[in-house]
Copies of this chain bind each other. A is one copy, B any other.
Amino acid sequence: MTTQQLTRNQGLVFDVLSHSDGPLSAYSILDKLRDSGFRAPLQVYRALDKLLEFGLVHRLESINAFVACAHPEEDCHAHGLTAFTICETCGKVTEFHDHVIEDRLKGFARDRNFKTGKTTIEIRGTCAGCA
């Protein structure tokens, strides 16, 4: 998935997220896109749904916000599990992938015949710069 084949709305939303310092809520994205013609939350949510599907954007469940993927040129879904640190002071988000954790969770699920869908791993705290 390259950012070339995005629709206008998807492109605008991805652009806003890519150029943002930190995660943004759907409504702050909407505000930033008023001048580009956005008028309703659904325009943002629809674009976000697609971007999430493409693996270009991640949703941070614990703060109801969205970030651009750290490596949008590759397919993030292919990296397996994605985890995040979220600085509660400056908002900085760091994305990482850990195969040990992934295997461990997979094992846990398999042992219980639990069919894994989406997995969320988010560490909230204070980043090095803000400590």
A interface residue numbers (CB < 8 A to B) = 61-62, 83, 85, 87-88, 94, 96, 98, 100-101, 104-105, 108-109, 112-128, 131
Query: Measured between alpha carbons, how far is A118 from B126 in the docked complex, in Å?
Result: 11
Query: Measured between alpha carbons, how far is A127 from B113 in the docked complex, in Å?
Result: 7
Contacting residues, chain B, for A124 (C-beta < 8 A): 117-120
Determine which residue in A62, A100, A113, A123 has the highest number of CB atoms from chain B within 10 A of its CB, and name it. A123
Query: Measured between alpha carbons, how far is A113 from B87 in the docked complex, in Å?
Result: 11
Given contacts A61-B61, A114-B125, A119-B123, 4 further A-B contacts (CB under 8 A): A61-B62, A61-B120, A62-B120, A104-B104
One of B94, B112, B125 near A128 (C-beta < 8 A): B112
